[in-house]
Each structure stands twice: as C-alpha cells, then as structure tokens.
Structure 1
Amino acid sequence: MTTVTTTSTVPDDAGSGFRRRLLDALATCIARDGYRATTVADIVRGARTSRRTFYEHFSDKEACYVALLSDANSEMIRQISSAVNPDAGWQTQIRQAVSAWIAAAESAPALTVSWIRDLPSLGSAARELQREMTDAFVTMIQRLCDTEELRAAGVGPLPRPLAILLIGGLRELLASTVEDGGDIGEVHDLAVQASIALLEPRSTAAR
C-alpha cells in the first residue's frame, strides 16, 4: 500500500500542518470538481503551498487521496462508535449508529460518493485501502452488536457476511441518493428501518 511520508527536514508540527492543509485542499477539490478532474496543481493551489511540499508528504495524487479517505473513514468509525449507548434498547442502538453514519456522510457528500465510485477503479494501494476499511467497518459493526442488550435480544454476535451486506446497502443508498441530486438526510428513516429489519433478532425466542 502506498504510504504517506514526511522528510526529516520538516518539523513534526509543521509537517502535520502542511499534510492537513493538503488533505483539506483535496477534499475541497473533490467537492468542486470531482477526484478525476483534480490535479496536483489544484491541490497545491488550494493548500497555498508548493509542489515541493506536496511531494515531501505524498508520492502522487493517489497517495494523497488514499490518506484523505483513510483519515475520513477512521473519523467516521470513531463518530459512529461514540454515538451508540450500549445500555439502550437494541433498536435504539441501531438507530443511533445509523443516524451517526448518515450524519458523517452528510457532512461530506462528495467524498462519500468518491469513496464508493472512484476508489475501486484505482491502483493497488486504493484497493488495499478499500479492503482495510471494509474490514474496519465490519469490526465496528460486530463490536457494536456484541453488547449485552443486543446479545440478549438475539441480534449479536453478528456474522461477517451480514455486516458486509449492511455496509454495502448503506453505502449504495447514500451514493445513489447524492448522484440523483437528493439530500442524504432524506433517506435517514429508510436507512434506519432497513437496518433494523436486516438485524432483527434471528432467534424466535428472542422476539
């Protein structure tokens, strides 16, 4: 996988600041023009820095993109995980998780679509990131479903294929909504209802 590197001549705090500016500039470019139309020159101009600084941090545009998506998805997982109250009822926990997922996607709709549409067609580093982040989301969902409340209701522990089905369904729903000119928030209730139905207790005794 392509890695993000900094040179030893750049102090840690300064390097981190430039890296953040470059990632933010790429996110802005994606929202405005899309990933494919964005160039390194666009990113550098948006970050108000130089090509030399860009290449001190990233080997190319794809490496910058991989770093941006990695950071964004890690933050999304953090937000979803922190939004769930493990002591609430099982349906409430699912609602909290899906609501946080949608809120995170709604805050950056263009990046949400790019993650789903652009990433799969890129190189090996992007494909590796896609696998890693899918695994991270699966782990998150399985962890969230492995609470005392959800186990008692018959929801957890959750099989990996079911977690993947949930991830794929939500991602496609969000991407197609944005591409059709809709508002991600408009599908909130549908996403919650579908997720509850998919994760409905599998044990008859637990109903």
Structure 2
Amino acid sequence: MTRSKSAARPAPAPARRRIRGLDAEQRSAQRRRQLLDAATELFAEHSFSGTSIEQICQHAYVGTKGFYDHFESKEACYIALLEQITAQIQQRVGEAAAAAEAEGSDWSQRSAVVVSAFVHAIADDPRLAKVTFGEAGGISPVVERQRRGNRRWAAAFLDRQWSGATAGEPDHARMALALATIGGMFELVADWLHHHDDGGAPDAAERLIEDLTVFLTVIDAGRSGAR
C-alpha cells in the first residue's frame, strides 16, 4: 500500500504570530522594559510609596495583567529595577578599573578613575541616583537585604583595588574597613542627592567626584599611616 505524499510529510510548525514585527517573547520583553522605564520615572519623581501599580501601568501603556505577568508586587518591580541599575553601575565601574589597571596606573591614580565612573553612572541620569540612593532605605526587609548585598559587593571590589595591605592584616579587618568606607561614600552620595535633587547644577557631578575622591584619599592615607 502506497502512502500519499501528504501523509509522508511532517506537519509544518505553526507560524509564530508577530505584531508590529515582534513575536510573543519579544513583546513580553518590551513590556517589561516599558514597565521598568515607567517605574524609574515615577519612583524618582513621586517616591516608591507615592507610586501605585496602576500609575506604573498607565505610564508604561501596559495593562495591569501585563504588570503581574512580570512582577508579583510593586516591591518586586522595585527590586528588579534596583538589580538592573546595580548591574549597570558595576559594569561601568569594573570596566573603568580594568582599563586604568591595564595602563599601569597605581591605586592613587586609579581611584579617581573609578570614582568618576561611579558618579557618572548614577548622575548622568539623576533619576538613577534617586531610585538607588534616595529610595532604597526602609522600604522592606527584602529590599534592605538587596541594598546590603550591593554594599558588600562594593566593599569587596574596593578591597581588591586597595594596594599594599599590611602584612598579616586579617582579611576580615580589611573587609570591615572597606565596608565602612563604602558606607561613608554612599552617605556622601545621599547627602549630595538631597542638595542636588534636580540634577540641574552643571558642576554637581564634578563636586561629588571631588568629595568622594578626597574622602577615599584620606582613608587610604590613614591605612598607609597605620602600616
């Protein structure tokens, strides 16, 4: 018995429906970006507590169902936004440090490059500084854990950058000093943000770079003196 040609051929895979040139997965990713962009704008302007999920959806032109497809709560949306901004900052600072090290710069030169990269990562778009440093404290225990994790990453990064550790100095002592230094730097950022919350002063970022560089230089001088 001969099979028909139609029976012998496998059924073609169903075509993926495209809307405006995007398939379902691409549209989902686009909605997520729109929601995070809207959250950035609204959290920076109205604060976390002053923004509702409905406002985020309206600003993003995404339905409430679309919001819950990506985030289970407003807090989850904020954490995703914080993770996104943090990854951008870490990448920018890491690349700047690696480039300076490749040029043979010592820590005294490299620190200015690292500080400048960090400040521009949060100050070129003032909304990012507001969301990360003006909002993170006191939202919830989950957000606080995320914030503390970011500080410990920054402290570990600083500890790797510091040169000439005291012979026999315990690792935990160096890490504790790095963590305290990062806390001081972040407090300077928060204070700067309070006084430059419009981001409009043309020299605002440069002033923050100067303040952070001086602070870091003094800490490093103290370490050298102790050695």
TM-score (normalizing by structure 2): 0.74
Instruction: Give the alignment partner of residue 57 of structure 2, picking from 20, 23, 44.
Output: 44
Residue 60 and residue 199 in structure 1: after superposition, are their counterparts in 2 closer, same or farther (change >3 A)? same
Residue 153 and residue 11 in structure 1: after superposition, are their counterparts in 2 closer, same or farther (change >3 A)? farther
Q: Within 1, Cα distance between the matches of 2:138 and 2:192?
A: 21
Q: Within 1, Cα distance between the matches of 2:51 and 2:59?
A: 11
5 Å-filtered alignment, 1:25-104, equals 25-84=38-97, 85-86=100-101, 87-104=104-121
Q: Which residue in 2 is equivalent to 1:139?
A: 156
Task: Give deviations 1:26-80, integer Å, cap 9, x for gaps.
Answer: 0011232222211111111121111110000001111100110111012101101
Contact kept in structure 1, 2:93 and 2:118, CA below 8 Å? yes
After superposition, the CA RMSD in angstroms is: 2.7
Residue 189 and residue 203 in structure 1: after superposition, are their counterparts in 2 closer, same or farther (change >3 A)? closer
Q: Within 1, Cα distance between the matches of 2:225 and 2:75?
A: 49
Q: Which residue in 2 is equivalent to 1:128?
A: 145
Q: State the percentage of identical aligned residues.
A: 23
Q: How many residues are matched?
A: 192
Contact kept in structure 2, 1:70 and 1:133, CA below 8 Å? no
> Runs of 5+ in structure 1 lacking a partner?
1-9
Tell me by how many angstroms 1:128 deviates. Answer: 2.0
Q: Which residue in 2 is equivalent to 1:179?
A: 194
Tell me by how many angstroms 1:117 deviates. Answer: 4.3
- The one-letter code of the counterpart of 2:35 is L
Tell me by how many angstroms 1:17 deviates. Answer: 1.9
Q: Within 2, Cα distance between the matches of 1:31 and 1:180?
A: 15
Q: Which stretch of the first structure deviates more once superposed, 22-31 or 101-110?
A: 101-110
* 1:13 lines up with 2:26 in the alignment: yes
Q: Which residue in 2 is equivalent to 1:107?
A: 124
> Runs of 5+ in structure 2 lacking a partner?
1-22
Q: Which stretch of the first structure deviates more once superposed, 76-85 or 160-169?
A: 160-169
Instruction: Give the alignment partner of residue 167 of structure 1, picking from 182, 187, 200.
Output: 182
TM-score (normalizing by structure 1): 0.81
| Structure with bigger gyration radius | 2
* Larger relative contact order (Cα-Cα within 8 Å, sequence gap ≥ 6): 1
